[in-house]
């Protein structure tokens, strides 16, 4: 399946154009050597945005939201709309509500929220979150709440 919207990753290797989806080792024509020694530690900040986006696609939405707390670059990349088409917060934490809301878009129409296995107020949505959700996501049509505890006093 070909996707013309994808940008090629710049990994320093040049591949022959073939019909196969993944290049074989014999298809690599040259590789650029990097000045970094093999003992030097490479961090996320050294990776291109395309590589980070590729890795982020494999994270849960809970973990993706937590990546924003690490550094401004990861915050910027983690807000890419393609990662948030159908958000699922499967390990919802009340302390992260503001961060979760920052990822939701006006056109979000489906949202799944669950806590860990045992319902707890610390892992349940607050009344304030639900009110903000109504304002932030006017197109929301499906909201699934699982293992939630609601405080009638809120």
Rounded CA-CA distance 56/59 in Å is 5
The 10 Å Cβ neighbour count of residue 114 is: 19
Q: Is 7 exposed, middle or buried (0-12, 13-18, 19+ CB in 10 A)?
A: exposed
Tokens standing for residue 151: 């405080």
Please tell me the predicted confidence (pLDDT) of residue 34.
54
H or E stretch at 29: strand 28-31
Rounded CA-CA distance 85/104 in Å is 9
Rounded CA-CA distance 23/13 in Å is 11
Q: Is 130 exposed, middle or buried (0-12, 13-18, 19+ CB in 10 A)?
A: middle
Rounded CA-CA distance 47/21 in Å is 23
Rounded CA-CA distance 4/119 in Å is 44
Return per-residue pLDDT of the chain as tens, 154 residues.
444 444 444 444 333 333 434 444 444 444 444 555 567 888 777 889 999 999 999 999 999 999 888 889 999 999 998 899 899 999 888 889 999 999 999 999 999 999 877 778 888 899 999 999 999 999 999 999 998 888 777 6
Q: How does pLDDT run across 44-62, given as a tens digit for each residue?
A: 778 899 999 999 999 999 9
Alpha-carbon dihedral sign for residues 74, 106, 114, 100: positive
Domain boundaries, given as residue ranges, for the chain: 45-146
Rounded CA-CA distance 81/103 in Å is 8
Please tell me the predicted confidence (pLDDT) of residue 17.
39
Q: Is the pTM of this model over 0.85?
A: no
């Amino acid at each position: 399946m070909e996707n013309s919207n994808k940008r090629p990753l710049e990994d320093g290797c040049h591949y022959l154009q073939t019909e196969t989806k993944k290049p074989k080792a014999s298809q690599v024509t040259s590789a650029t050597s990097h000045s970094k020694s093999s003992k030097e530690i490479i961090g996320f900040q050294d990776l291109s945005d395309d590589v980070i986006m590729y890795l982020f696609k494999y994270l849960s939405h809970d973990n993706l939201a937590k990546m924003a707390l690490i550094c401004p670059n990861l915050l910027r990349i983690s807000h890419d709309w393609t990662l948030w088409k159908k958000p699922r917060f499967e390990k919802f934490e009340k302390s992260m509500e503001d961060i979760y809301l920052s990822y939701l878009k006006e056109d979000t129409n489906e949202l799944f929220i669950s806590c860990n296995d045992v319902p707890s107020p610390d892992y349940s949505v607050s009344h304030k979150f639900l009110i903000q959700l109504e304002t932030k996501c006017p197109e929301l049509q499906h909201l699934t709440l699982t293992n939630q505890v609601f405080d009638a006093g809120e």
